[in-house]
Structure formats: structure tokens, C-alpha cells
Amino acid sequence: MSSMFPVKVQGAEVRKRGKTLVGPVDLELQGEGVSIVIGPNGSGKTSLLKMLHGIVRLREGSVTWSCPREEAQHCQGFVFQTPVMLRRTVLENLTYPLRLLKVPRAEARDQAAQWATRIGLGDAAERQATVLSGGERQKLALARALIRQPELLFLDEPCASLDGRAIREIEDILQAVAQDGTRIIMSTHDMGQARRLANEVIFMLHGKVHEFSPAEVFFSKAATPQARAFLNGDIVE
């Protein structure tokens, strides 16, 4: 188990312009596996990820890691739904985070080339990242986060609007790094993907954690009518 975990969330709440985006949240997460965050649009999935990652200010409560907060944040990565590409080549995008860590240039380029090949962009290593397709950009953003070998990776609906082939390729990468010990916390609207990847499920509703349980329990016997309705594809308000 990672020295970062468990992470304990106690009465945490995020507000913007007087509106509560998420919270209050009470949650404890352990250091292994894949946590999948699901729920209707506007239920607080993205805000929960940002709260845990520490890139939004808490109005109330606390998020406490089992190590100093600065150390915990240094060991995390975050892949957004719409990734920002540096106006550089694929290889330079992958090299950049390693250079920030003072990795020697030759070593950084070697690792970047290995990751470009791993994500299927080896032949595109010298292409400008800004001209890649949506699926290619998402794979590049994922590799750019993983090349730093984070202990914890947040992903905010990384496969939204991608085709089946790109989704499968990204899921293969996620399953491989999870098996290697990377802790993953990921939101998705795709219930098939949630079933394929999740060890545990966080079901969000109205900005709160409505259910939190092992995946096999949630998908076979959700505890609340709202969660069962959501799994049935019904509109949940």
C-alpha cells in the first residue's frame, strides 16, 4: 500500500459563487485498485476529483493524506477530459515532464520514445501534438502523466467522445499500470467501462457521495433506488 494512503475526507465542501458544487463529503480511500466515479451529469464527479487532487479550495472540511500534503501532490497526476497539448512534438510533450524533474536529456528522450511506442504513437513521435486526433491526444495526455510514474492518477472521463478502438487502447494501458501498482481514481459516464475497470464504485448524486461500495456489490445489488435507477438507464434527478 502506498505511503499516501489511506486518504480521509471529512466534511469537505467546495462552493463557487455561493453554489455548492460538491459536499459535504465523508470518504476514506485505500491505496490499491481502481475507483470509478459515476453519476448523472452535474452530480459532482469532476468536482470530487479536483477536491481530492487539491486544485480547488475547500470551503469546509478537510482532505488528509497519510503523508505531508505537498509530498502527496507531488506523487499524483491528473488527466482532464479535454487535454491541453503543448505546441511541441509528441516526443517533446513526453520529454517535458521528465525535464522538469531534472532527468538528463538523453534519458528523458529515451523514456519518451518508449512511451510513444507503447501508446501507438511511435511513428508520430516527430509530429506536432496539436494536429493529433482526439484519441491520439488523449493517449498522449495519459502517457505524459504516467511517464512521471505517479503513485496516484486521476482521470476525468478520459474516453468521452472517443471511438471503440481508442477506448480499448486506453483501457489496456490503465489496466496494465493498475496491475503495476498505480492507484487510479477515474470518472466515467460509460457503464460498460465502469464494469470493466472498477474495483470499487463511488456513485455521486446532487454533489454528494450517495453510495460507495465494491464494484461487484454495486453492480449486482446497489443499495438505493436512485443507484438502481441510474444503472437501469433511467433519468435520476
**Over its length of 237 residues, how does the chain's per-residue pLDDT go in tens digits?**
458 999 999 999 999 988 999 999 999 999 999 999 999 999 999 999 999 999 999 999 999 999 999 899 899 999 998 888 999 999 999 999 999 999 999 999 999 999 999 988 999 999 999 999 988 999 999 999 999 999 999 999 998 878 888 899 899 999 999 999 999 999 999 999 999 999 999 999 999 999 999 999 999 999 999 999 999 999 888
Q: Quick check: 160 and 81 in contact, CB under 8 A?
A: yes
Topology of the domain covering 7-84+152-231? Rossmann fold (3.40.50)
CA end-to-end span of the chain, whole Å? 37
Cα(91)–Cα(197) distance, integer angstroms? 29
Report pTM.
0.93
CA dihedral 145, 85, 49, 189 (to 10 degrees): -110
Distances (CA, A) of 173 to 22, 60, 146, 168, 177: 30, 36, 10, 9, 6
Burial class (CB in 10 A: 0-12, 13-18, 19+), 65: buried
User: What one-letter code names the amino acid at 32?
Assistant: E
Q: How many CB atoms lie within 10 A of CB 20?
A: 17
For residue 2, the model assigns a pLDDT of 55
**Where along the chain do its domains lie?**
7-84+152-231
Cα(39)–Cα(227) distance, integer angstroms? 8
